[in-house]
Amino acid sequence: MNQRTALLLAFIALKFLLQYFLIIPEYELHRDEYLHLDQANHLAWGYLSVPPATSLIGWIIQALGNGEWAVRFFPALFGALTLLVVWKAVERLGGNLYACVLAGSCVVFSVLLRLNQLFQPNSLDVLCWTSLYFFLIGYIQSRSVRWLYGFAVVFAVGFLNKYNIAFAVIGLLPAILVSSQRTLLLNRHVYFALLAALVLISPNLIWQYQNGFPVIHHMHLLAKTQLVNVSRADFLKEQLLHFMGALAVIVAGLYGLLVYRPLVPYRLFFFSMVITLCLFVYLRAKGYYAIGIYPIYIAFGAVFVGAKVNAAWVRALFVLIPVVLFIPLFQVAFPNKTPEQIIADPEPYRKLGMLRWEDGKDHQLPQDFADMVGWRELAGKVDKAYAAMPDDNLTLVLCDNYGQAGAINYYTQMGVRAVTFNADYINWFDLTKNYKHLIRVKTWGDEGDEMQETGPLFASGFKSDSVTNLFSREWGTAVYVFKDAKADFRGRLEKEIEAERW
């Protein structure tokens, strides 16, 4: 094994270890992770919220035992592969060993450490953006058409994981037109590759058509409820924070694309970044949507710095900056402090805007952290109520949101299959059963309102319990028990489902 390979393996091992050790046991899985894990129980070519790739990975996680270690393995794996692609991009661009080490340091000690902790489409999305750019570099360098078909396959995988990758292509097309690489569009294999990508993603497109294009509904809902609260200034600020330690290297890469002769053939990447970021700013995108842009620019910057900087102390400084700047990031960006510790010293989080949730208001914990506590408690209390029902097989567990339903279904020891009118769960109701009892998991409203609204439909009803974890976003969520339905209430469920459909 040569030195370069040994160093690459060391970086990959470090990346994996950090993914597991930067989270303390007080935190559970994230709200979104439970939904993605539950999608594995309902495999399809599409979902309201995401394309199908995440559900397939969830199915593999189930085959591995469905433990939290397996859930966290796959985003960690995608993060390690992103590091590998950046390293190989440096080598392909002619970077020396120092450039590889610099790129590795910048990738490891970045926001990817947080992103790669969560089983969401984002980790694979970043890997696909990086790989997409890597295959384009390979084609520009070699003019071998196999890189174009590789580009098509990566795009298809990325599209079947998260539609966000379409913005990478949208940013590339005008960049190609204004650069010397515009002749690329005269190559017939480009169009064959596009056709191949279309064939690969067609099952999801057909599913979207058959289901009335729910992605459009999801985008409208997202824009109405969340993106409207996103500040364009906050988006730009987040871009500086994501790869704060690599900022000098990324800027060097952009400069190198303009003036450094070996990088001039790749100048289209300069224009692509500008165009893609402008598009995200215009659309009021969330800051993390753009994370996939940056890893490949770390490769460009590392090559440029490796070629132009000779002073040993300056080289060492470039490598150490990501590590040093990671220290304050370590203090706030990861769930490695208990909620009590965060509440006792909230100022570092407030300064960075991390206490502001998607509702536009400040809260006691960062939203992501509040979404990682209280779930086991909720599932345990639902299990207890479910076990006490006279006919548990004829008991419907109905929740307010997908986080509640997914967490209950993940942690249950009683075989509960909770549902909700939220997200993909509207397609997962089993209306073949004539339910006799109802367990209602409700986030908002007082006990009197729930009893007045639902109680008359049943012979008896009462509030069984509630989430008492003050740090949870689900704090106060109540578990109501209603027994002996006076009539078949499936018709009412069907009306609610239709009302919530896109």
Does 355 share its domain with 416?
Answer: no
- Per-residue confidence band for 237, with pLDDT thresholds at 50, 70 and 90: confident
Query: Does residue 173 lie within any of the structural domains?
Result: yes
Residue corresponding to tokens 């949208």: 170
Residue 342 reports pLDDT greater than 60 = yes
Domain that holds residue 403: 375-500
Residue-averaged pLDDT of the chain: 91
Does 65 share its domain with 144?
Answer: yes
Query: Does residue 337 lie within any of the structural domains?
Result: no
Residues of 381-399 as b/e, b for ≥16 C-beta within 10 angstroms?
A: bbbebbeebeebeebbbbb
Does 365 share its domain with 383?
Answer: no
Average pLDDT over residues 110-119: 93
Does 182 share its domain with 235?
Answer: yes
One-letter-per-residue 3-state SS of 188-237: HHHHHHHHHHHHHHHHHHHHHHHCCCHHHHHHHHHHHHCHHHCCHHHHHH
**Residue 422 to residues 162, 297, 360, 419, Cα–Cα distance (Å):** 20, 39, 21, 8
Residue 225 reports pLDDT greater than 70 = no
Query: Does residue 135 lie within any of the structural domains?
Result: yes
Residue corresponding to tokens 């599913």: 207
pLDDT, position 300: 98
Does 147 share its domain with 226?
Answer: yes
Residues 59-63: contacts with CB within 8 Å, 24+ apart?
61/37, 61/119, 62/37
Question: Cβ distance 181 to 265 under 8 Å?
Answer: yes
pLDDT, position 148: 96
Does 326 share its domain with 386?
Answer: no
- Report H helices in 333-438: 339-344, 347-351, 367-370, 375-387, 402-411
- Per-residue confidence band for 152, with pLDDT thresholds at 50, 70 and 90: very high
Question: β-strand 395-399 against 437-442: which pairing, if any?
Answer: parallel
Residue 226 reports pLDDT greater than 70 = no
More confident residue, 470 or 215: 470
- Per-residue confidence band for 235, with pLDDT thresholds at 50, 70 and 90: confident
Distance, CA of 27 to CA of 44 (rounded, Å): 30
Q: How many domains does the chain have?
A: 3
Question: β-strand 458-466 against 478-485: which pairing, if any?
Answer: antiparallel
Residue 1 reports pLDDT greater than 80 = no
Average pLDDT over residues 280-286: 85
Query: Does residue 137 lie within any of the structural domains?
Result: yes
Least confident of 215-224, 326-335, 426-435: 215-224
- Per-residue confidence band for 228, with pLDDT thresholds at 50, 70 and 90: low
Give burial (CB, 10 Å; 0-12/13-18/19+) of 319: buried
Q: Which residues contact 182 (CB under 8 A, 6 or more apart)?
A: 176
Does 274 share its domain with 404?
Answer: no
Helix axes 121-142, 146-159, angle to 10 degrees: 170
Query: Does residue 475 lie within any of the structural domains?
Result: yes
Query: Does residue 299 lie within any of the structural domains?
Result: yes
Does 20 share its domain with 35?
Answer: yes
Does 289 share its domain with 418?
Answer: no
pLDDT in tens, 7-47: 999 999 999 999 988 999 999 999 999 999 999 999 999 99
Average pLDDT over residues 50-77: 95
Does 152 share its domain with 167?
Answer: yes
Residue 227 reports pLDDT greater than 60 = no
Does 473 share its domain with 348?
Answer: no
The 10 Å Cβ neighbour count of residue 417 is 15
Residue 363 reports pLDDT greater than 70 = yes
pLDDT, position 450: 74
Does 199 share its domain with 254?
Answer: yes
Residue 269 reports pLDDT greater than 70 = yes
